[in-house]
Chain A
Amino acid sequence: MHMSKDPKILAVLCKWCSYAGADLAGTSRFEYPSNIRIIQVPCSGRIDPLMIFKALIDGYDGILISGCHPGDCHYGTGNYFAQRRLAIARKLLETIGIDPKRLFFTWISAAEGKRFAEICADFHDHLLSLADSPKALAQEGIDR
Chain B
Amino acid sequence: MTDLQTQVKELFSNKKIDVLLGWIVDNNSGIQPHLFRIQDDISRLVFNDQCLDNLVTHLPTVLKQHRKVGIVVKGCDGRSLITLLAEKQFERERIIVLAPACNGVAANSVKLGKCADCATHIAPNADYTYDDPDTVSSPEFKESQQIEDLPYYKRWKFFADHFDRCDRCYACRQVCPMCYCEICIVDQQDPQWIDPSTKLSANTMWHLIRAYHLAGRCADCGECERICPEHIPLRILNTSLEKAIIEMFKTRPGTIPDVLPVLVTFNKDTDEGIMKGA
Contacts and interface: CB of A to CB of B under 8 A. Distances in A.
A85 B147 CA distance: 22
Given A53-B209, A88-B244, A136-B201, A96 B155 contact: yes
A134 B156 contact: yes
B199 A88 contact: no
B263 A95 contact: no
B5 interface: no
A84 B244 CA distance: 11
A105 B148 CA distance: 22
Contacts of B126: none
A83 B276 CA distance: 10
A53 B154 contact: no
A36 B185 CA distance: 28
23 contacts: A53-B205, A54-B193, A57-B205, A70-B272, A80-B271, A81-B264, A83-B266, A84-B263, A84-B271, A87-B244, A88-B212, A88-B241, A89-B212, A90-B275, A91-B240, A92-B211, A92-B241, A96-B207, A97-B154, A101-B278, A134-B153, A136-B200, A140-B199
Contacts of B153: 97, 131, 134
Interface in A58-112: 70, 77, 80-81, 83-92, 94-101, 103-106
Contact of A91 (B201, B244, B264, B271): B244
Interface string B188-212: 0000010000011100110111011
A98 B266 contact: no
B266 A80 contact: yes
B147 A98 contact: no
B180 interface: no
Contacts of B179: none
Interface of B: 144, 147-148, 150, 152-160, 185, 193, 199-201, 204-205, 207-209, 211-212, 215-216, 236-237, 240-241, 244-245, 248, 262-264, 266, 268, 271-272, 274-275, 278
What DSSP secondary structure best describes chain A's contact surface?
helix
B216 A95 contact: no
B268 A70 contact: yes
Contact of A97 (B159, B211, B268): B159
A87 B272 CA distance: 11
B266 A104 contact: no
A53 B237 CA distance: 15
Given A57-B204, A83-B271, A134-B160, A50 B209 contact: yes
Contacts of A33: none
A83 B275 contact: yes
